[in-house]
Amino acid sequence: MALKRDKFDDVFSQLVRERTDWQCDYCGRSFHHERQKLHCSHFKSRRHKATRYHPYNAFAHCVGCHRKLEEDPYEFTAHAEIAYGEMTIERVARLACVPVRLKTWQMDELYQHMKNELKRLQELRAHGVTGRIDFTLPDWYQDGIQLRMGESQCAA
Which pTM was predicted? 0.86
> How far is 124 from 88, CA to CA, in rounded Å?
27
Rounded to a whole number of angstroms, the CA Rg of the chain reads: 15
Full pLDDT tens readout for the chain, 156 residues: 466 788 999 999 999 999 999 999 999 999 999 999 999 999 999 999 899 999 999 999 999 999 999 999 999 999 999 999 999 999 999 999 988 888 999 999 999 999 999 999 999 999 999 999 999 999 888 865 555 444 444 443
pLDDT value at residue 5: 81
pLDDT value at residue 4: 79
